[in-house]
Structure 1
Amino acid sequence: MESRKRSVIKAVIWNLLGLLIMAIVGFAMTGSLSTGGTMALINAALGLTMYFLYERLWAGIRWGRNA
C-alpha cells in the first residue's frame, strides 16, 4: 500500500502533464489563450481530485494483490 503523500505527488505530476496538454488543445480549438487556459485549469482541478480519490479507493481494495 502506498502512502497518502505518494498518492498526492503522483496525482500532482499527472495533473501537470494533463494541464499542459489541455492548455494546448484548448488554445488550438478556441484560438484564445484565456479560454484554453481556463479550460485547462478546470480540467486539472477536477482531474486531480478524481485521480486522488480513485487511487485512495483502490489502495483500500485487497483484490488482485500478491502477498
Structure 2
Amino acid sequence: MKDQSHKRHIAKTITWRIIGTFDTILLSWIISGDATIGLKIGMVEVITKMLLYYFHERAWFKINFSREGVVLESRKRHIVKTFTWRLIGTIDTMIIAWIISGNPLTGLKIGFAEVVTKMILYYFHERAWYKINYGLSDRHKSK
C-alpha cells in the first residue's frame, strides 16, 4: 500500500491543482481586473501549491484515524482536512497575489474570495477521490 499511496497522492495533487489553478486565475482576473495578473498568479501557484499540497496529503496519510485497527474515512475527516489545506493555500495565495500585483489589498481580496470557492471545490474533490481506489490496495469504507 505504501508504494501505491505515493502514486495516489501525486494523482490527487495534479487533479486538485488543475481545478485550483483555474479557480485562482478566474478570481484573480475578476478581482484585479487584469487577465495577465490572473495568469501570472495562477502559474506561480502551480508550483507552490503542488509542493504544499503533496506534503499536506502525505501528512494526512500518516495521521492515524482508526478504531480497532480499521482506518476510518469520514465526512468529518474530510472537513477538517479541507480547513487545514485551505489555511495553507490561502496564505500562499495572499503572498503570491500581493507580490505579483504589488498591492497587499489585492492579495487579501483574492485570498478571502478563495476561502469560499476553494473549500467547496476541495470538499467535493476529496469526496470524489474517496470513491476512487486508485493507489489503495485495501481500504475499509465507512459512510
TM-score band by shorter chain is 0.7 to 0.9
Aligned-CA RMSD value: 1.6
Question: What is the deviation of 1:44?
Answer: 2.7
Question: What is the deviation of 1:25?
Answer: 0.6
Q: Could you tell me which of 67, 92, 95 is aligned with 1:21?
A: 92
1:35 counterpart letter in structure 2: T
Name the counterpart of 1:10: 81
* Count of paired positions: 66
Provide the TM-score with structure 1 as the length reference.
Answer: 0.81
Provide the TM-score with structure 2 as the length reference.
Answer: 0.42
**Secondary structure at the counterpart of residue 79 of structure 2:** helix
Question: What is the deviation of 1:15?
Answer: 0.6
Distance in 1 between the 2:76 and 2:122 partners?
A: 14
Runs of 4 or more off by more than 4 Å in structure 1? none
2:114 counterpart letter in structure 1: N
2:108 counterpart letter in structure 1: G
Distance in 1 between the 2:129 and 2:105 partners?
A: 36
Distance in 2 between the 1:57 and 1:31 partners?
A: 37
Contiguous gaps of at least 5 residues in structure 1: none
